[in-house]
């Protein structure tokens, strides 16, 4: 295993063992115990969900948090729920994913030049993590970015992910090297340069609330990841 990949695996192991948010740990374990009727015969993951992807990635897709019956069930980001069903065909078409469907950790999915992460690693009730839970998880993202030496672009899926990345930028580079926070406005397709050579591209989150209502379409999402390839200098 390459040195960078080993360090990321060690970090992922620490994430899985995290117990910084006792209420979230109780909630995730209870969801895994009770289970949704459609998944009654599934063995739920029920732990903090580690990141996934290519250790040599130049692009990161940064989400909000695991879904209670998606990633909290499968143990892999955006795997086994409606958001992933919308996202992975786009990643496949954009050249980042080896296949269009993501169903389980053992389905053979490989990512190329892409790392998928989240600002919160445990499924929160109502998909709404508290500010304290977000702060507890922030150091994982800080360390992760340090261990991705080729990272050039972060696609933030939703406002909470966008704000989480700005928090990283301020804490790692110093607020004095950034513009005022008000200059970084979340909007689909918005693009900003951050310290240390990173570009952030904002995107709507691929939640069913956005995709089923037509607010967010597949061409809109594909444009975001094609732009990410361009900014990262990928062929």
Q: Are strands 114-118 and 52-53 parallel, antiparallel or unpaired?
A: antiparallel
What is the distance in angstroms between the CA of the first residue and the CA of the last residue of the chain? 26
> What pLDDT sits at residue 171?
80
Say how far apart CA 169 and CA 177 lie, in whole Å: 9
pTM: 0.95
Domains along the chain? Answer: 3-232 (3.40.470.10)
Strand order in the sheet with 114-118: 52-53, 114-118, 59-63, 153-157, 198-203, 191-194
Residue 190 has what DSSP assignment?
A: -
Predicted local distance difference test score (pLDDT) of residue 174: 52
**For residue range 136-184, what is the model confidence (pLDDT) as tens digits?**
999 999 999 999 999 999 999 999 999 999 999 888 755 456 667 778 9
User: What does the alpha-carbon distance between residue 34 and residue 115 come to, in Å, rounded to a whole number?
Assistant: 31
* Overall residue count recorded for the chain in this entry: 235
**pLDDT at residue 177, as a whole number:** 60
Q: If you ran DSSP here, which 8-state letter would residue 111 be given?
A: B
Query: Which pLDDT score is estimated for 3?
Result: 65
Q: What parts of the chain have a pLDDT lower than 70?
A: 1-3, 173-179
Predicted pLDDT of residue 2: 57
């Amino acid at each position: 295993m390459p040195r960078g990949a080993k360090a990321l695996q060690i970090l992922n192991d620490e994430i899985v063992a995290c117990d910084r948010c006792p209420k979230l740990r109780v909630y995730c374990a209870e969801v895994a115990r009770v289970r949704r009727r459609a998944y009654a015969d599934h063995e739920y993951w029920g732990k903090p969900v580690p990141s996934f992807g290519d250790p040599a990635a130049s692009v990161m897709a940064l989400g909000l948090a695991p879904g209670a019956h998606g990633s909290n069930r499968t143990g892999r980001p955006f795997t086994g729920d409606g958001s992933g069903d919308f996202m992975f065909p786009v990643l496949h078409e954009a050249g980042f994913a080896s296949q269009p469907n993501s169903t389980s950790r053992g389905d053979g999915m490989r990512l190329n030049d892409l790392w998928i992460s989240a600002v919160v690693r445990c499924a929160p009730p109502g998909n709404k993590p508290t500010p304290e839970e977000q702060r507890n998880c922030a150091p994982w993202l800080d360390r992760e970015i340090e261990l991705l030496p080729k990272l050039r672009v972060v696609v933030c899926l939703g406002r909470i992910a966008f704000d989480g990345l700005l928090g990283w930028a301020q804490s790692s580079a110093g607020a004095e090297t950034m513009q005022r926070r008000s200059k970084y406005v979340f909007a689909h397709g918005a693009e900003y340069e951050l310290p240390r050579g990173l570009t952030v591209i904002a995107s709507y989150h691929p939640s069913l609330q956005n995709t089923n209502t037509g607010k967010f379409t597949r061409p809109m999402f594909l444009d975001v990841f094609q732009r990410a390839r361009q900014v990262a200098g990928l062929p």
